[in-house]
Amino acid sequence: MTMDAASDNLIEVRDLCYSRGARPIFKDLNLTIQRGQITAIMGPSGTGKTTLLRLITRQLIPDHGAIFVDGVDISTLSQAKLYGMRRRFGMLFQNGALLTDLSVFENVAFPLREHTHLTNRLIRHVVLTKLHAVGLRGAADMMPAELSGGMARRVALARAMVMDPDILIYDEPFVGLDPISMGVIVRLVRRMNDALGISSVLVSHDVQEISTVADCSFLISDGKVAASGSPAELSHTTSKLVKQFMHGMADGPVAFHFEAPDYEEQLLGRDVE
Q: Which residues bind another protein (CB under 8 A)?
A: 57, 59, 83-84, 86-87, 89, 91, 93-95, 97-100, 110-111, 114-115, 159, 163
- Burial (CB count <10 Å: 0-12, 13-18, 19+), residue 254: middle
Query: Residue 99 CB, nearest distance to another protein (Å)?
Result: 6
- Please identify, using beta-carbon distances, which residue of 139 and 162 lies nearer to another protein: 162
- Whichever of 89 and 245 has its CB closer to another protein, that residue is 89
Comparison of 17 and 163: residue with beta carbon closer to another protein: 163
DSSP 127-165: HHHHHHHTT-GGGTT--GGGS-HHHHHHHHHHHHHTT--
Q: How far is the CB of 205 from another protein (least distance, A)?
A: 19
Shortest approach of another protein to residue 201 CB, angstroms?
A: 13
Taking the complex as a whole, the smallest distance from the CB of residue 61 to another protein amounts, in Å, to 14
- To the nearest whole angstrom, how small is the minimum distance from the Cβ of residue 199 to another protein? 16
Nearest residue (CB) to another protein, 12 versus 171: 171
> Between residues 89 and 218, which has the closer beta carbon with respect to another protein?
89
Report DSSP letters for 65-124, one per residue: EEEEETTEEGGG--HHHHHHHHTTEEEE-TT----TTS-HHHHHHHHHHHH----HHHHH
Among 49, 58, 64, which residue's Cα sits nearest to residue 14? 64
